[in-house]
A and B are shown apart, each in its own frame.
Chain A
Amino acid sequence: MNTLVKVARYHLVDRLQFLVLPVGVTLFAFLVNLTIFAVIPETPEENYSGGLFTLYVFMLVCGALSMTKSLPFGLALGVSRRSYYLGTILLVAGLAALYAVGIVVFQAIEEATGGWGVGLNYFRVPWLLNGPWYLTLLTSFVLLTLMFVYGMWYGLIYRRAAVVGVVLFAAAQVLVLVGGVLLLSWTDSWPKLGTFFSTLTVGGVTGVLALLVCVAGAGGFATMRRVTV
């Protein structure tokens, strides 16, 4: 068996964390939403609950756990940091694909049943996940991957520099954003940004998210190379 596959399998030894909990909690939140929408007497035609957000938060947490709790024993199994990281990325790709397909399938059912009979749009997110199925599949996949990989980076920073490191890491990202805002102001580019957003398509956003996946992935990998257990 290939080492990367073994690492992915290592994460799945405990199916609870990566499979049962994300799916279970998402479906649980769905049922709660369904119940509430079923008993609310009057609702507008289009209801978006936003409950699908749970799954994305879960991916973030799973990413962080894969690089904190699971790391020491993983590296004790004769695996290089590189293999451990790439094997985990393989797992991410698999999970994100699985869940993206799930979202598309549930969206189809949602549409066919007129929002589960009560006009609920649980698996359809306004604008972002509201287009043709292939675009939803792609955007879901990229966003789920981004959340997981971003979580991995946080986990690695925590491993490397504990809470102080995580706080500094978050602060550094805020500074980057502030820098961006200042740059926009100094160059009088706010109108341009407005135009950018007003012309932005879902496909374009997905592209930007994919770029962020690359940034987070590369940052995490660089951090991983110096991590000790």
Chain B
Amino acid sequence: MTPTISTTGLTRRYGDHLALGDVSVDIREGKITGLLGRNGAGKSTFLRIVTAQEFASTGSVRVFGENPVENERVLQRLVLVREDQQFPDFKVRHALSAASWFYPNWDAELADTLLRDFDLPTKRPIKKLSRGMRSALSITIGLAARAELTLLDEPYAGLDAVARQLFYDRLLDDYSAHPRTVLLSTHLIDEVADLLEHVVMIDKGRVVLDAPADELRGSAATVSGPATAVESFVAGRRVLHRRKIGSRASVTVADALDAAAKARAQALHLKLEPLSLQQLMVHTSNTGHPTAEEASA
């Protein structure tokens, strides 16, 4: 099956700043993929190139198997919700009616529901909306467009916790009812971790991780307890991070721990905690690829 998005050697330079360097990645159809990375890692640039709002310096992009640049066959099947989306001097209802003409699968009912949920005033000019309300408008457009490929770039900026939860719930509901390919860029990883089926992590313009979420969840763990016991336990394992407070130590290892290791940890009275995706990103951003380097204390 052709991946929904496929890039090969995708590179984007701005002067001597490398926004994306040699990104080769496939985004599979019908899954929710998380595009994770720090601020300025290149997530937005990637999404803008995929939607032909920006151009690649070198390398190629295929969306639905075709080049998206000036290609409406491709562009009409996708929607991008940008954190910094600029609108003309429109009122909320203007933006929604414009969107309803252009997106072939537009669901007006869903748009109305979301407007009510987010409490959006349809008659208000968009530039008078608060940051959070503007995000809510973008989310409404992004979900109601029901595009085969839904790209969400940090869609919740300025949204409070309740509205964010609402967004996650609605996204999941609508995704279950109308399966599509979703690529969600975010740095609030813990909040979305449960939604994600696949993870692509970008750091300084390069892909440092590309794996199914389930695989990553068990791929690293933190061992803590008395320093000597911890050290003997982690000996020979790949260490990502070490912290020592007095006689106690807490060490993060990039290993899938099997039943034997777990039993051994229990015998040594050590505490074992699997690393969350968010912590994994923190360590990956600090050390490069989590399994490629042998860190030493």
Q: Which residues of A contact B (CB under 8 A)?
A: 1, 3, 6, 9-10, 13-14, 16-17, 65, 69-70, 72-73, 75-83, 225-226, 228-229
8 extra interchain contacts, Cβ-Cβ under 8 A, other than A78-B75, A80-B71? Answer: A65-B88, A72-B85, A73-B85, A73-B88, A77-B103, A78-B79, A226-B55, A228-B53
**Alpha-carbon distance between A136 and B86 when the two chains are bound, in angstroms:** 39
Report the interface size for chain B: residues with CB under 8 A from the other chain. Answer: 31
Shortest C-beta distance, A3 to chain B (Å), equals 7
**Alpha-carbon distance between A6 and B102 when the two chains are bound, in angstroms:** 7
Determine whether the beta carbon of B75 is less than 8 Å from that of A228.
Answer: no
Determine whether the beta carbon of A17 is less than 8 Å from that of B89.
Answer: yes
Determine whether the beta carbon of B86 is less than 8 Å from that of A80.
Answer: no
Q: With A14-B88, A14-B89 in contact, is A82–B70 under 8 Å at CB?
A: yes
Q: Mark B61-77, 1 if CB is under 8 A from A, else 0.
A: 00000000011100111
When distances are taken between beta carbons in the complex, the residues of chain A under 8 Å from B89 are 14, 16-17, 69
Question: Please, could you name 13 A-B residue pairs with CB atoms under 8 Å apart, sorted by A?
Answer: A10-B98, A13-B90, A13-B98, A14-B94, A16-B89, A69-B86, A70-B88, A73-B87, A73-B98, A79-B102, A80-B70, A82-B70, A83-B72
The 9 A-B residue pairs with the shortest CB-CB distance in the complex, in nearest-first order: A77-B102, A72-B86, A78-B75, A70-B88, A78-B76, A80-B70, A13-B94, A228-B54, A69-B88
**Alpha-carbon distance between A179 and B75 when the two chains are bound, in angstroms:** 44
Shortest C-beta distance, B111 to chain A (Å), equals 14
Q: With A78-B72, A80-B70, A81-B70 in contact, is A73–B86 under 8 Å at CB?
A: yes
Q: With A14-B90, A73-B87, A228-B53 in contact, is A78–B82 under 8 Å at CB?
A: no
Shortest C-beta distance, B110 to chain A (Å), equals 17
When distances are taken between beta carbons in the complex, the residues of chain A under 8 Å from B70 are 80-82, 225
Shortest C-beta distance, A46 to chain B (Å), equals 41
